[in-house]
Amino acid sequence: MRQQWSIVGLTVGAMLFLIVSAGTVRADENAPGRLMARQATMTSHAPITADHSKFQELQFDPVKQRSFKGPEVTRACLGCHNKAAIQFHQTIHWTWRDPISDPERKIGKGGLTVNNFCVAVPSNEPRCTSCHAGYGWESKDFDFANPETVDCLVCHDQTGEYQKFPTMAGYPAPWIADPENPGEQKGKTFSSGKVFYAPNWAEVAQSVGRPDRTNCGTCHFYGGGGDAVKHGDLDSSLSHPDKHLDVHMGTKDSGGQEFACIRCHTTKAHDIAGRIYSNPAVMERKSLVEHDLQPKIMCESCHTADPHGDQKMNDHTDRVACQSCHIPTFARVKPTKMWWDWSKAGDKERKAVMDEYGKPDYVKKKGEFVWAKDVVPEYHWFNGAMTTTTAEDRIDPSEEVRLQWPMGDRSDPNARIMPFKVHRGKTPYDSVNNTMAIPHLFPSGKDDKTAYWKNFDWHKALAQGMEYADVPFSGEFGFVETAFAYPTTHMVAPKDNVVPCVECHAKQGRLADLSGFYMPGRDSVKAIDYLGWAGVVGSLLAVLIHGLLRLFARNRREG
């Protein structure tokens, strides 16, 4: 009899196990998506076919190269790579403009687009364009058609020693002789105290190769004025990350794939795959199985649209972006800036207080900050494009102004639920015209009387910035609350550290603010709840009754 009751117990236990385990994420090594990803990463790049250290054109005289500024090296590059500058001139990295929007709107940081970090480029070019892949963009008179002002080295240097000076419009520091050490340079000191030296142009030019994470990170890790400030999922911790920070870029020693950026941001004629303002990264979501020349910028390019061994998990992929589950938090190593209040800038009496991360809560030149680490993203519907606000667009100052925001909604078949870093703050605006205002921040020289970072006069700075940008300014201004959203796509965690199902399928879960659809565990519809529980109870009763009937039938046979 004890054995017979054990059979009933095991049956009920198995039923309960199946119910509980139905919502469990399985990290299956042989899941289809992992198998396809392994195949996609089996072939490495073709080997380099030229040793640039042997090229006579790059054997610069050690003394003569001291006078170089950069275009001299580009001229040598173009002697062989005679289409490179023409190609590069067509890309976002050169124009800083949205290639598909109405040119009259001037969307892009090279146009009139406004953000809530350093606000805008116009009138501040010498500082901002230290992250431009060119030389000499000092003003709106920059010649974008000049092939020799392309900076080949910032993307292709492999010495790791090439640096642009932060306030010289993309030029590296000049060679300055050290009077105490003949034949040596003393360097040029930045306001932070860091000393920059002129490159060894011959050594750098002879080292060139495909861009690695150091090349890309020189700008993209430090956007917004410092390490980890802007993106949250891009900072210097990704230079040599552990697998637990990013499975794709993690070092081989830690079990990662050690991908360079261009492994996913595939490039054709210097045009690097990726989202550009209102232009999605790709127009069609296809895997390499469907199209072997497809850019690898999307997760499903390598992992396919059915990456999991569990079909229930695959049911999510048409509505939930892979990143929503596989990036549980961002800024996992370095804190990122989450709030920037420009209205507090200019207070000579206020002293900065260091937060728990060692970051200042205030800088006189920039205002008040809030930093955060290990941040849970916000989630929004996203079809791959973003709205953008320019200094000519009308805003409603009575509510939060979304300077950059994801496009798409539940009714959009191309939209998925996507994680975002949303940076908020208070940003200057024209309080009469109700437009965002562009401040002139960076002094153009010693005689500049209008730059905010020199005189701390908002009226002068905004009047000059708007006049320079050729945008009407009423002379009246205020500070409006703003939000700027960035898609979170890096810092992909290992499969064992994905977001647990219950963190979304819960009343106050991660997706609590997304409405318009029913989600089990979060939403409650009494009729559905009753039917569901009736099914569970009915299943348990059926199992019990079945077990009991078998027990009694067996007793009758034995009796």
Q: What is the pLDDT of residues 283-307, one digit of tens each?
A: 566 555 555 555 678 898 888 889 9
Among 46, 16, 407, 68, CA closest to 204: 68
End-to-end CA distance of the chain: 13
Among 96, 118, 154, CA closest to 276: 96
Q: What is the spatial distance between Cα 72 and Cα 61, in angstroms, rounded to a whole number?
A: 12
Residue 123's φ and ψ, nearest 5 degrees, are 80, -5
Q: What is the spatial distance between Cα 319 and Cα 168, in angstroms, rounded to a whole number?
A: 46
Question: Given this model, what pLDDT does residue 524 score?
Answer: 80
Print burial letters for 101-135: b (CB count within 10 Å at least 16), e (below 16): beeebbbbbbbbbbbbbbbbbbbbbbbbbbbbbbb
Strand pairing partners for 483? 402, 424
CB 452 within 8 A of CB 439: yes
The DSSP output letter for 68 is -
Question: Given this model, what pLDDT does residue 554 score?
Answer: 75
Exposure on the CB side of residue 12, measured as CA atoms within 13 A: 15
Contacts of 509 (CB under 8 A, 6+ apart): 502, 503, 521, 522
Q: Which amino acid, one-letter code, is at 152? A: C
Question: Given this model, what pLDDT does residue 275 score?
Answer: 80
Domain map (residue ranges) of the chain: 57-162+199-499
CB 160 within 8 A of CB 214: yes
Question: Given this model, what pLDDT does residue 297 score?
Answer: 84
Q: What is the spatial distance between Cα 233 and Cα 62, in angstroms, rounded to a whole number?
A: 41
Strand pairing partners for 372? 336
Print burial letters for 423-452: b (CB count within 10 Å at least 16), e (below 16): bbbbbbbbbebbbbbbbbbbbbeeeeebbb
The CA distances from residue 98 to 91, 173, 279, 353, in Å, are: 10, 31, 8, 39
**DSSP code string of 293-355:** T--TTSHHHHH-S---SSHHHHTTTTTB-HHHHH---B-SSS-EEEEEEGGGTT-SS----B-
Q: What is the pLDDT of residues 80-133, one digit of tens each?
A: 999 999 999 999 999 999 998 999 999 999 999 999 999 999 999 999 999 999
Query: What are the structure tokens assigned to 50, written together?
Result: 């030229």
Strand pairing partners for 125? none
Contacts of 194 (CB under 8 A, 6+ apart): none
Q: What is the spatial distance between Cα 117 and Cα 67, in angstroms, rounded to a whole number?
A: 35
Mark the ranges of the chain whose per-residue pLDDT is less than 50. Answer: 1-12, 14-27
Among 352, 265, 271, CA closest to 301: 265
Question: Given this model, what pLDDT does residue 274 score?
Answer: 87
Contacts of 29 (CB under 8 A, 6+ apart): none
Pairing label, strands 188-189, 195-196:
antiparallel
Query: What are the structure tokens assigned to 38, written together?
Result: 């392994």
